[in-house]
Structure 1
Amino acid sequence: MPDAPHSSPEAAIIPIPVSDNRGQSLEAFKSKLRDAGLYQPPSDDTPASHDDSTLLRFLRARQYDVDKAQKQFSDTEAWRKQHNVDELFRTFETNEMESARIFYPRWTGRRDKTGLPVYVYRLASLDAPLRKELESAPSERRYQRIVVLHEAMTRFVLPLCSHLSAPTPISSVTTIIDLEQVSLSAMWSLRSHLQVASAMATANYPETLNTIAIVNSPSFFPTIWNWIKTWFDEGTRNKIHILSKNPGPTLRSLIDEKDIPQSYGGQLPWKFEDDPNLDDAIKEVIGEMPKGPILFVDGSMVKP
């Protein structure tokens, strides 16, 4: 398999292969997790401890090898207990959570043609003052911010999009990474920030990245690719696609033009610093985008 990102537009829309036996693998996975005390099936009174979409993400991450998937799932559950993730998310301060979004990929409020939420990460927006602000927080708190925003994605955005795409579950996102006007020195200064986020997501939120479209890549991109590619496992590397300075034609094969930000050749009046610009179907379900920690469960927003 190649260890460099794809440049072919067609490559970006090839679906991830799924084993014909995935149903059997899922049941075997549930059985092993239940025996290990890591999974509780649904009962008349309570839902399952983990939904099928989450379990399938771990299986896909390990090519449906049930034993390897169980090892990663067990490690993630231990990590969640170590960092008290559920309580961290439930009690995280709303203003800090909202202000932290500027440092990470942000949801546009729109979905691609298959129903996956579309995220954008514009690194030039993390200018020197913002990088200084980012670095002023203790490393432990920066890590907690990353965790909380991943929880917001997997516990609010993905279930919401699944609700709208039923019966097709949505368990991953499409991300546009914008490298316009990013200097090599800026990338170097952000390397630790980006590496920590990538490593944490790969280990504990596997298979949440479906397609990564890198736009406006600078001339030095091959140089930075040589040191950032080691942050990702091979499966993630093969989902990264490099688009030209005019990404619109390829993005339109993935996302309806009305849902592509204007900066990338679409019609959506949205920029990276903005709150999500919700599409009409989402507005009908939730009205406005909520602030702070919130869950989407069984068609409704609930407090964690």
Structure 2
Amino acid sequence: MTVTETVAPVQAQTKAAAEATTSTWTPPPGRLGNLTPVQEAALVKVAAELRAEGAFVEARHDDATLLRFLRARKFDVLKTKDMLLASEKWRKEFGVDELVRTFDFPELEEVDKYYPQYYHKMDKSGRPVYIERIGNLNMKALYACTSQDRLLKRLVVEYESFLTSRLAACAAAEGHPVETSLTILDLGGVSLSNFIRVKDYVFAATSIGQNMYPECMGAFYIINAPWTFTAVWAAIRPWLDEVTAAKVQIVGGPRVYRPLLLAQIDADCLPAEFGGTCACAGGCSLSDMGPWNPEGNKTASASPIASALTEKLAAPAPTEVIDVPVNGQVLSV
């Protein structure tokens, strides 16, 4: 396919995205429906170059995905292509497609006691809300019921579910594309020693999120930040690129963070412990409540990724594999 042949479908998809928007919603800059001529040319070029090298994956490299990587590399085509190729190489080595088809996480309830990590409903912009709490972190108890390797595998499967299931459900509910999440990291009760013990996992999760699933985080609120977090932030900050770091807002206790969160999230979508009114049966952290799962989990033992896995199990396994030498690098969503 020539560059000229590639331009027409991209322009058609861009026009369709623009026409699909409602009168009250406009695509943010750098998204389909709101591209500058330079950005659109970069999209065409990176797609054409990937195709020319036999590295274009039809199942994944749609325009929205290519634009996520382009935004992460400020629309530099060469850097974007390197990032995409590094991502494809990592997917093969990590076994992402096989994980999505087969991974199960029966230790979910036990892990939730020590390190809750969960999606819960949407914010006022239609973005899935993702919450992590590390104040009750007990590394000995956590790693007695799971391992860092399994936590990272769960993280990757959740990213895949986020992209293929959660965002699509939120977009359908809102009537316009949704591409990012709102993250809440609760540090209430956390100690510096707790963070030091979990830093290896946080670093690995940061690496995966930032370079394998770029531009998925729309806003990041770190709440209940203790004074010792200055040292923690000094350790985390070098791991983040400037775009990611700019999205992080560090705030103190309930008097500060509750009005801030409620300005972003309706009270009935925000768990009561954070100042909202939601109190899901069995606990919000195990409910997986949202447009992707409107009735929530019926039992506490239900897995938050079960519906996405079921959908993937019914689909044929991808057959295209990328194995190319690359130069690239690898925060939870």
Shift of 1:155: 2.4
CA contact under 8 A between 1:176 and 1:212: conserved in structure 2? yes
In structure 2, relative to structure 1, the CA distance for the partners of 1:70 and 1:226 (3 Å cut) is same
1:275 matched to 2:275? The reply is no
| 2-structure distance, mates of 1:301, 1:81 | 17
Q: Tell whether 2:280 aligns with 1:264.
A: no
Q: CA deviation at 1:255?
A: 1.6
Q: 1:214 to 1:288 in 2, by over 3 A?
A: closer
Note the alpha carbon deviations across 1:92-148, whole angstroms, 9 max, x for none. Answer: 12525676677463101x1111111001111123235543436x63x5444333322
CA distance in 1, matches of 2:199, 2:57: 39
**Which residue, out of 191, 194, 199, partners 1:183?**
191
SS in 1 for 2:287: coil
> Equivalent pairs: percent with the same residue?
30
Contact persistence 1:175–1:211 (CA under 8 A) = yes
Please tell me whether the aligned partners of residues 124 and 264 of structure 2 are also in contact (alpha carbons under 8 angstroms): yes
SS at match of 1:64: coil
Q: 1:105 aligns with which of 117, 132, 137?
A: 117
Aligned to 1:222: 230
Match of 1:212 in 2: 220
The reply to whether residue 27 of structure 1 matches residue 44 of structure 2 is yes
Q: Secondary structure at the match of 2:106?
A: helix
TM-score by length of 1: 0.79
Q: CA deviation at 1:231?
A: 1.8
Q: Which moved more, 1:243-252 or 1:191-200?
A: 243-252
Q: Distance in 1 between matches of 2:252 and 2:313?
A: 41
Task: After TM superposition, list the pairs within 5 Å mapping 1:117-128 onto structure 2.
Answer: 117-128=128-139
SS at match of 2:215: coil
d(CA) in 2 for partners of 1:144, 1:282: 21
Unaligned stretches of 5+ in structure 2?
A: 1-26, 316-333
Structure 1 counterpart of 2:160, which letter? E
Contact 2:100 2:312 in 1 (8 A): no
Kindly state the Cα deviation for residue 269 of structure 1 after the two structures are TM-superposed.
1.8
Are 1:293 and 1:303, in contact at CA under 8 Å, matched by a contact in 2? no
Deviation at 1:156, TM superposition (A): 2.1
* Structure 2 equivalent of residue 44 of structure 1: none
Assess, with a 3 A threshold, how the Cα gap between structure 1 residues 140 and 262 changes in structure 2: closer, same or farther: closer
- The one-letter code of the counterpart of 1:28 is K
Q: Is 1:57 the counterpart of 2:74 in the alignment?
A: no
Ranges in structure 1 where 5+ consecutive residues have no aligned partner: 1-14, 42-47
What is the alpha-carbon distance in structure 1 between the residues aligned to residue 287 and residue 204 of structure 2?
A: 25
Partner of 1:249: 259
Assess, with a 3 A threshold, how the Cα gap between structure 1 residues 104 and 74 changes in structure 2: closer, same or farther.
farther
Q: Deviations over 1:49-73 (max 9, x none)?
A: 4333222211111111122111100
| Aligned match of 1:195 | 203
1:36 pairs with one of 53, 58, 70: 53
Contact 1:57/1:207 (8 A) holds in 2: yes
> Take 2:49 and 2:108, find their aligned partners in 1: how far apart are those partners?
36
Which residue of the partner structure matches residue 159 of structure 2?
150
Q: Is the 8 A contact 2:105 2:154 kept in 1?
A: no
Q: CA deviation at 1:16?
A: 6.9
Distance 2:42 2:130 in 1: 30
1:10 corresponds in structure 2 to: none
Say which one has the larger Rg: 2
Query: After superposition, what is the alpha-carbon deviation per residue over 1:209-257, rounded to whole angstroms, capped at 9, x for unaligned?
Result: 1110011101111111111112211111110001231212111222222
Contact preservation (8 Å) 1:118, 1:174: yes
In the superposition, the TM-score normalised over structure 2's length comes to 0.72
After superposition, the Cα gap between the structure-2 partners of 1:282 and 1:141, relative to the gap in structure 1 and judged at 3 Å, is closer
